[in-house]
Amino acid sequence: MKLRSLLAAALVAILSFGASAEGISFEHISLEAALKKAKAENKPIFIDVYATWCGPCKYLTNEVFVDGDLGAYMNKHFINLKLDGEKGDGDYLMAEFGLDAYPTMLFLSPDREELNRIVGAAGADEILEVSKGVIDPSTTLIYQQEQRYAKGDRDKEFLQDYISEMIDKDKDFEPIVAEYIELYPKLDLESENEFLIFCVGMNDLDAPLNQSFLKEIVAHSENFPELTQAKLSILIYSICEEAAESGNNELIEKGVKQLTGPLNKILEDTITEDDLRELMLETVSEV
């Protein structure tokens, strides 16, 4: 009798393991059929938009979507779909939601509204975290920060974290950044958090802090190389945007004169004033 019980327990364990190791179960139906099913079952839709030639897409399929915990959650809470982004429903979806990279994982409501997206080959834990946030937004960090901000919290470190999370989640961070700079105007450019705020929040080329940044660009590039290059790109685009709106190409000349030197201090390849002018004028035409 004891042996029979042990065998039964072992069988249950094996069956449980098999169920948890199943991974995400994707429906072999059209997008319209998935939307109808989602509405009938009151579930959102998870769509893996892939390309047949895409290596990271294959990695997701073979290494990530097979995760047992991820599969258990996704199969319970979502209608799961795979679409080739280069044909049929997938091609249409790419255009409809402005998708421009593979893989992209798209979360849609039954009414075809975008709830969230993940771009790139994320791990199972990240996909699970985002998916839980779609089902219950109150579990997400950004939701909790929004509630804290709404209650009036303006602590310096909290706002830094909030801004960083908003940027990461592609939220409208500009009003919060502007408020931060008003509350704490003396930005410390040796602090990565405040350097980030400086990068996205101060676009006036003539601002004293921007002029100081350009003079000390080598040191800033040593501290924060990616952010420094991003800051220069933001300054260039801001000038182009203003020139496009005002029709004043003298702004381009001013930008060329002030930015060519700093660019050449941190870029591997030399850029001439003519090169930068051509780039900026092309950008103006596209704004």
CA atoms within 13 A on the CB side of 64: 19
Mean pLDDT across 263-272: 92
The predicted pLDDT at position 154 comes to 97
Structurally, at CATH architecture level, domain 22-136 sits in 3-Layer(aba) Sandwich (3.40)
pTM attached to this predicted model: 0.72
| Strand-by-strand arrangement of the 45-50 sheet | 79-84, 45-50, 104-108, 114-119
How would residue 135 be classed by pLDDT, with cut points 50, 70 and 90? very high
- pLDDT surpassing 70 at residue 4: no
Listed in order, strand segments (DSSP E) in the chain are 45-50, 79-84, 104-108, 114-119
Structural domain boundaries in the chain: 22-136, 141-286
Decide if 262 contacts 212 (C-beta within 8 A). no
CA distances from 242 to 195, 231, 236, 263 (A): 23, 16, 10, 20
Q: Can you tell me whether residue 80 is helix, strand or coil?
A: strand
The predicted pLDDT at position 10 comes to 43
User: Model confidence over 143-190: pLDDT tens digits?
Assistant: 999 999 999 999 999 999 999 999 988 889 999 999 999 999 999 999
- pLDDT surpassing 50 at residue 204: yes
User: Model confidence over 43-53: pLDDT tens digits?
Assistant: 999 999 999 99
